[in-house]
């Protein structure tokens, strides 16, 4: 008899994930298995996998177990590991609520970028304390076809290059990763955001995500964009002493990002569970190894 493995499907502003609850960390989710699950034709389909594990049961999270019971073991759609996923952490929180592990209100979630504070509001939105951005020095250039733009290097636990452009269509189909130079700035690859202005403290972006391609949204990317926009606009909260809130439109919806004068960044947006089911462990093992 075949072994059935439970999964759920969820999204945050249409950045979609296969959720695999595995409290005891008993499953071996190889990169090939993750890529198979995320395959939109031969698998379940998703931009990434949220592997839900108790912190105490995961070697990368044991040290955070006192602060956060659950660890978000996030994987990109190609099977690679990433430090952090902003939309993913909201969907992860929604799953914990859906499964009855947590109630509405405040909770913490362990990630590879540290423990994140999360608030599940009554109105359905979820707010995440994303920590502080790092802004490494140095010029970065993003190129698509004949267009090149200067970009801001912003690290939200994971790496981003943020380019302000005249027209989001100039980013092209974003099927392949846009070259970013100097390449040595990002030895582990980079997420690239293209941004246009929509109004005062209101921008819109498209993104090519490392390990997933163009996605409909990127939470860490939206935070990086808000930070870059605040520096460009002269509204840097550390310099002005006033919080800066930016509305960031993504193809899949809207995120609201606030940076406080102490540098702490909060992101608010939706998170939805859309389906639950089971897949066959044999299918995964035989088809993809």
Ligand X SMILES: N[C@@H](CCC[C@H](N)C(=O)O)C(=O)O
3-state secondary structure 254-278: EEEEEECCCCEEEEEECCEEEEEEE
Which residue's CB is nearer to ligand X, number 185 or number 283?
185
Could you tell me if 57 and 23 are in contact, meaning their C-beta atoms sit under 8 angstroms apart? yes
Does 97 bind ligand X (CB under 6 A)? Our answer is no
Residues 15-34 that bind ligand X (CB under 6 A): 15
- From 218, 230, 244, 267, the catalytic residue: 218
10/221 with CB nearer ligand X: 221
* Spatial contact of 53 and 22, defined as CB atoms under 8 Å apart: yes
- Pick the closer one to ligand X by CB: 15 or 55: 15
Supply the minimum distance, in Å, between the C-beta of residue 76 and ligand X: 5
Query: What are the angstrom distances between the C-alpha of 213 and each of 177, 217, 248?
Result: 7, 11, 20
Please report, in angstroms and rounded to a whole number, the separation of the first and last CA atoms in the chain: 19
Nearest to 250 by CA among 199, 211, 216: 216
To the nearest whole angstrom, how small is the minimum distance from the Cβ of residue 85 to ligand X? 4
The token pair at 217 is: 């949204």
Which window, 127-135, 137-145, 163-171, 219-227, contacts ligand X (CB under 6 A)? 219-227
Using the minimum distance from each CB to ligand X, give the nearer residue, 17 or 288.
17
Does the annotation flag 220 for ligand binding? yes
Clarify whether 223 is annotated catalytic: no
Q: Which of 85, 171, 203, 205 binds ligand X (CB under 6 A)?
A: 85
The binder of ligand X chosen from 25, 55, 76, 127 (CB under 6 A)? 76
- In the chain, alpha helices (H): 31-38, 86-98, 219-233, 237-240, 281-288
Distance CA(27)–CA(279), nearest Å, equals: 13
Cβ count near 197 (within 10 Å): 14
Write the interaction track for ligand X spanning residues 227-246; mark x where CB under 6 A is met and - where it is not.
Answer: --------------------
Q: Does 87 bind ligand X (CB under 6 A)?
A: yes
In this chain, which of 34, 35, 50, 82 binds ligand X, going by CB under 6 A?
Answer: 82
d(CA 89, CA 110): 9
Is residue 191 a contact residue for ligand X (CB under 6 A)?
yes
Give dist(CA 214, CA 6) in Å, integer.
27
In the chain, what is the greatest distance between 2 CA atoms, to the nearest angstrom?
A: 64
Q: Which one from 61, 85, 163, 192 is the annotated catalytic residue?
A: 85
Q: Which positions are annotated as active-site residues?
A: 85, 218
Binding site for ligand X (CB under 6 A): 15, 76, 82, 85-88, 158, 191, 209-212, 215, 218-221
- Binding-site annotation, residues for substrate: 15, 76, 86-87, 158, 191, 209-210, 219-220
Annotated binding-site members: 15, 76, 86-87, 158, 191, 209-210, 219-220
């Amino acid at each position: 008899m075949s072994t059935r493995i439970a999964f759920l499907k969820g999204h945050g502003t249409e950045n979609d994930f296969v959720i695999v609850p595995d409290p005891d960390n008993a499953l071996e989710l190889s990169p090939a298995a993750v890529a198979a699950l995320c395959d939109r034709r031969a698998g379940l389909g998703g931009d990434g996998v949220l592997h839900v594990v108790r912190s105490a049961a995961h070697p990368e999270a044991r040290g955070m177990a006192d602060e956060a019971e659950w660890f978000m073991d996030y994987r990109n759609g190609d099977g690679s590991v990433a430090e952090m996923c902003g939309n993913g952490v909201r969907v992860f929180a929604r799953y914990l609520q859906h499964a009855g592990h947590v109630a509405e209100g405040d909770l913490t979630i362990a990630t590879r970028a540290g423990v994140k504070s999360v608030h599940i509001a009554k109105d359905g939105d979820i707010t995440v304390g994303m920590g502080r951005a790092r802004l490494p020095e140095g010029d970065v250039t993003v190129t698509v076809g004949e267009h090149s733009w200067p970009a801001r290097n912003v690290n939200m636990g994971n790496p981003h290059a943020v380019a302000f452009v005249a027209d989001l269509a100039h980013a092209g189909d974003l099927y392949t990763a846009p070259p970013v130079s100097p390449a040595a700035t990002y030895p582990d690859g980079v997420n690239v955001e293209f941004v246009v202005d929509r109004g005062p403290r209101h921008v819109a972006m498209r993104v090519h995500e490392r390990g997933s391609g163009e996605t409909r949204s990127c939470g860490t990317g939206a935070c990086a964009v808000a930070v870059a926009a605040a520096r460009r606009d002269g509204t840097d909260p550390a310099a002005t002493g006033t919080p800066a809130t930016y509305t960031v439109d993504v193809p899949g919806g809207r995120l609201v990002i606030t940076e406080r004068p102490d540098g702490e960044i909060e992101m608010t947006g939706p998170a939805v569970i859309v389906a639950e089911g089971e897949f066959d462990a044999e299918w995964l093992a035989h088809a993809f190894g």
